[in-house]
């Protein structure tokens, strides 16, 4: 299940119910921070950020033992979350099927876009810049083709302590296809403590604070800044 970007404002009833019904909540501690009231009276299992496989296996082990388990991700479990991993692990498992429900959540791109205005108002691509699990050549090729397709781009995992260069490389690629003045939105900690956002442009946005808790939205050739908001028109005749 996903808990959305953080604030309980974006936790829909389906997700709330799953938390309330769970006997065990399994998750990475950052996401659990936002679930304070739901943790009371429940077993809580946390693992480190890079221990995704261990976390999913533990959730499955608990479910096999008959417990009702909520495996918690930030945002949407289906978008760079644990839904695909847990389904892979369940498929390679012997024994009777375990009932599983995927509860979607508001992924960061949608929450970030709402802060910026309406940058995802037309066709877009969602691409992660993390090359921990995907070869950089694949990522670069996708960036290049999405840029050529004039899709708006929502970039996840744009920069981390150990990965500083990917966002600069993405910028260079995009500049081959779009003007330097193309609007770019940068949203940090969306719907969490410390939320900040900026509207910049393709030439300059890499000077802004960008980290793992940041979503970067790069406009298409149609994207405009109107009254301080980033807008990709759908094409209505006004």
Residues 131-170 that bind a second copy (CB under 8 A): 133-134, 138-139, 141-142, 145-146, 148-151
Helix (H) or strand (E) holding 78: none
Question: Contacting a second copy (CB under 8 A), which of 42, 123, 201, 203?
Answer: 123
Nearer to a second copy (CB atom), residue 16 or residue 203: 16
Question: Which pair of structure tokens corresponds to residue 198?
Answer: 């900026």
Say how far apart CA 177 and CA 147 lie, in whole Å: 6
Q: Which residue has the tokens 């389904």?
A: 87
Identify the three-state secondary structure at position 195: coil
> CA 43 to CA 22: how far, in whole Å?
9
Of the candidates 20, 23, 64, 88, which one interacts with a second copy according to CB under 8 A?
88
- What is the nearest approach in angstroms of a second copy to the Cβ of residue 131? 10
- Which residues have CB under 8 Å from 212's CB, separation 6+? 157, 158, 159, 160
Residue 113 interacts with a second copy (CB under 8 A)? Answer: yes
Kindly identify the residues of this chain, within the stretch 178-237, that bind a second copy according to CB under 8 A.
226-227, 229, 231-237
The residue (of 83 and 210) whose beta carbon lies closer to a second copy is 83
Pick between residue 78 and residue 203 the one whose CB is nearest to a second copy: 78
Q: 3-class SS at 196?
A: strand
Taking the least distance from each CB to a second copy, the nearer of 66 and 227 is 227
Using CB under 8 A as the binding rule, the residues of this chain from 9 to 48 that contact a second copy are: 9-14
Q: Which long-range contacts (CB under 8 A, 24 or more apart) does 37-45 make?
A: 43/67
Q: Is 111 in the site for a second copy (CB under 8 A)?
A: yes
Task: Assess 54 for contact with a second copy (CB under 8 A).
Answer: no
């Amino acid at each position: 299940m996903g808990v959305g970007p953080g604030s309980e404002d974006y936790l829909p009833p389906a997700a709330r119910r799953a938390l309330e019904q769970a006997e065990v909540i399994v998750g990475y501690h950052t996401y659990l921070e936002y679930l304070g009231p739901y943790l009371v009276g429940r077993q809580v299992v946390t693992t480190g950020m890079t221990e995704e496989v261990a976390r999913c296996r533990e959730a499955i082990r608990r479910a096999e033992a008959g417990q009702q388990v909520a495996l918690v991700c930030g945002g949407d479990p289906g978008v760079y979350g644990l839904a695909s991993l847990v389904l892979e692990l369940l498929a390679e498992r012997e024994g009777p099927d375990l009932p599983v429900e995927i509860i979607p959540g508001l992924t960061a791109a949608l929450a970030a876009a709402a802060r910026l205005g309406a940058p995802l108002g037309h066709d877009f691509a969602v691409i992660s810049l993390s090359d921990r699990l995907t070869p950089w050549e694949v990522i670069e090729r996708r960036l290049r083709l999405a840029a050529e397709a004039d899709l708006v781009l929502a970039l996840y995992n744009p920069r981390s302590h150990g990965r500083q260069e990917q966002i600069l490389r993405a910028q260079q690629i995009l500049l081959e296809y779009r003007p330097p003045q193309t609007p770019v939105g940068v949203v940090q900690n969306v719907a969490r403590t410390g939320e900040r956002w900026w509207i910049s442009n393709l030439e300059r946005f890499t000077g802004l604070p960008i980290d793992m808790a940041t979503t970067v939205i790069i406009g298409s050739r149609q994207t405009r800044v109107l009254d301080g908001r980033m807008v990709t028109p759908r094409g209505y005749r006004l």
